[in-house]
Amino acid sequence: MPRRRVARPSTPPLRSAPEQRERKADGEWYVRATRGSSTKDYRCPGCSQLIGRGLAHLVVWPVEKSLLSDAAIDERRHWHTACWARRH
């Protein structure tokens, strides 16, 4: 009896890069680059334009939570890489 061929994915699964800490004028932030594996659109707070599905971008959240949040991760926002780089 011949063996069945098992289809293997041609590319490895997408994984997010580990977050890094960055200091800006308004505090310290965790920054994680994505490879564009999102399945929905996001609005960049830097330019107010859409970050389309599948577009590589950054996910950013503060190191310390604000007073009204339960956790800092709840404050995460999706930024165009260039918009985040222009931010002071």
**CA dihedral (43, 45, 47, 53) positive or negative:** negative
Q: Record the pTM.
A: 0.74
Write out pLDDT tens, residues 14-40.
455 688 999 999 999 999 999 887 789
The pLDDT value recorded for residue 14 is: 45
Angle at alpha carbon of residue 56, lines to 73 and 53, rounded to 5°: 90
In one-letter notation, the amino acid at residue 24 is K
Q: Helix or strand or coil: residue 42?
A: strand
pLDDT tens for 53-79 read 999 999 999 998 888 878 887 889 999
